[in-house]
Structure 1
């Protein structure tokens, strides 16, 4: 099997403390057809010094102000040349060998290959995020930090919506689901990355739920279904927070 080129894209801003770990995890991936793209949002700390330290291993780099995470991700994907792309944020970590496992699971007509992601609270496992593409019709059920995505699919659905500040990944995958069908997604039963709690989507969780509701309405699922799904998300989050506080 000829392995496709995968463009790993890291978007960051003021991430000097966590970025080295993310970069090191990419360099340790040992994938033969790897392109690495880093998009910095105009950092004012030592992030650019970190990037300079690893510049020999970075194929494409840009540092400039952007219009949020969606804009930064779109910018990185547009710069990439790989058949697939993989988004690894600055505070996350790629598992060794994960890219090859994902690449080998890709089918000729498939658009997205999803692995499992460990959601980490510091050094403690908070939960295991298993991809469930069929549940995109009610929530964000595909961890984008665990997926390789065909660049043609990103182009076909118009990329990430810059109007979405939190649940842009849900809308993106929902568009792929609607355009290409459930067969566009394949999954592997393997942990491919660690995701660190504490990012924007965690700090503004309920804003994210409201965006999921809007995504469902905009994609034609109807207000009744969207409000029902939103209610389930809120209820589960409240229960999970209470259990976490008591533990």
Structure 2
């Protein structure tokens, strides 16, 4: 793959108090089979042993900083603003890139010159020895809005630097929908391409599976999709805006399930009512308009 080594790839790792996993993440970046990599590590002022781990590898890290930030999206944005690569991605500080990930993506972008973003599959589990496949699939802005879907595993996604110049940075106020929002924004402005095959490992642990984390989805998902349609933040066509009720019905139903599993009965009932209301509006539109 080194015939493509003129292409520089910027990899950003946002991190905060992830010393337990950070070294494995760093090693997965530094041990890539592709050599022309710019590595930026943005630490949020960790109080554990993270900085000691970073210093162990600092001669191979192009840029790192440890200072308080406003959350993951803010940390990623710091990296994006410093990134000089032709291609860009981020890997969280508890995840792992497989050795040929960067080489594969560089070649795939060469073969797909019109693609603004390329993504694929990942594997997930509590430990790399216990993992199962999570597949992505080809999608479009139409499908993303019609079915409230985002089948783009974050760890598998890479995009061209000029995409950042076109659409900007992540929204710092989002905590769990930050990647969904960014990828849907990319799809609304650029061509995206799915290429099958696992390229990274997504680690699931207690922090990622907590009730509080799941309830955050029920808080942010409706706000996000209501902004998409009510404020038309992506300047969507009337045809895409027509999927509002169908999309919101699915979003509210998902939030009802999340709330019910968390024991939030009243919230679950409210979301279910909203889902039925949106679904009925969609039925009327489909049948009579």
TM-score interval, smaller chain: 0.7 to 0.9
Equivalents in 1 of 2:261, 2:29: separation in Å? Answer: 32
> How many residues in Structure 1 have an aligned counterpart in Structure 2?
238
Q: 1:131 to 1:78 in 2, by over 3 A?
A: farther
Query: Aligned residue for 2:199?
Result: 192
Of 74, 81, 87, the match for 2:77: 74
Q: Structure 1 residues 239 and 136, CA, compared in 2 at 3 Å: closer, same or farther?
A: farther
Partner residue in 1 for 2:180: 170
Given candidates 132, 147, 150, the residue that maps to 2:160 is 150
Equivalent residue number for residue 136 of structure 1: 144
Once residues 196 and 253 of structure 2 are traced to their aligned partners in structure 1, the CA distance between those partners, rounded to angstroms, is 26
Distance in 2, Cα, partners of 1:199 & 1:89? 16
Q: Deviations over 1:161-205 (max 9, x none)?
A: 01211101111111111122xxx1112211000001137664312
Which of 16, 25, 28 is equivalent to 1:25? 28
Residue matched to 2:221: 212
Pairwise CA RMSD: 2.5
Match for residue 230 of structure 1 among 232, 251, 274: 251
Q: For residues 38-61 of structure 1, what are the alpha-carbon distances to aligned partners after superposition, in whole Å with 9 as ceiling and x for unaligned?
A: 000001111100000011110111
Partners of 2:260 and 2:36 in 1: CA distance: 44
Contiguous gaps of at least 5 residues in structure 2: 230-240, 263-289
Distance 2:203 2:261 in 1: 17
Q: Structure 1 pair 121/26, CA: closer, same or farther in 2 (3 Å)?
A: same
**Offset at 1:210?**
4.1
Structure 1: segments with no counterpart, 5+ residues: 242-247
Task: Work out the CA distance in 2 between the residues paired with 1:53 and 1:239.
Answer: 45
Do the aligned partners of 1:66 and 1:72 also contact (CA within 8 Å) in 2?
A: yes
Larger Rg: 2
**Contact 2:95–2:200 (Cα < 8 Å) also in 1:** yes
Please give the secondary structure, in 2, of the residue aligned with 1:111: strand
Task: Give the corresponding residue for 2:115.
Answer: 110
SS in 1 for 2:46: coil
Deviation at 1:111, TM superposition (A): 1.1
Instruction: Give CA deviations for 1:94-140 in whole Å, capped at 9, x if unaligned.
Output: 00111111111112232111021112133422551324433432133
Q: Relative contact order: is structure 1 or structure 2 higher (C-alpha 8 Å, sep ≥ 6)?
A: 1
**TM-score of the two chains, using structure 2 as the length reference:** 0.75
Q: Is the 8 A contact 1:115 1:191 kept in 2?
A: yes
Residues 170 and 75 of structure 1: CA distance in aligned 2, closer, same or farther (over 3 Å): same
